[in-house]
Amino acid sequence: MKSLIYPDWKRGLKMLFAVSAALSLSVITNGSGEVLATSTSKRIENTIETLQKSDQRWIQINLANQRLIAWEGGKPVYAIVISSGKKATPTRVGTFKIQSKHKSTRMRGRNYDVPNVPHAMFYQGNYGIHGAYWHKKFGRPVSNGCVNLAPNHAQWLFNWASLGTPVVIQN
């Protein structure tokens, strides 16, 4: 009997997931019952625009150029090179808020166990911004999904940001 399964079906599924992730939509109502759909990138753009018109402190992370900028409203106050998640363990894109801060913490995952991680600020589950003393590959994606900073930069950001500080991560 001849197989009806396409031999490269996994590649097709990967492409389907990549396309569906890029096209993810959110449904929002405007209060009058009208439904509006916005893409993730459009939501991020809108959030940035709103934050830049405020006087609020917020953090912008650009994964494409491996940069982090600390903002006070529309004024950049600190800019540094980062290392985000590698292809196999990407950093999540979206808008978040700092949920917890730890001067030092142990971080464990599937292929790592790192003690004394300095100045960690978590914004979604185990995803965070923190100092990385174990590498000097800033400017390249090498992490397991977190945003790595040189320890001195992590300390500055840790002291500047507070719980609830918005974090905007974009490609």
Catalytically active residues are: 130, 146
128-136 contacts at long range (C-beta below 8 A, 24 or more positions apart): 129/59, 129/61, 129/68, 129/154, 129/157, 129/167, 130/105, 130/154, 131/155, 132/83, 135/83
CA distance 134 to 57: 29
74 in Cβ contact with 23 (< 8 Å): no
CA distance 55 to 111: 40
Q: Which two tokens stand for residue 86?
A: 């590698």
CA distance 126 to 145: 9
151 in Cβ contact with 131 (< 8 Å): yes
CA distance 71 to 51: 9
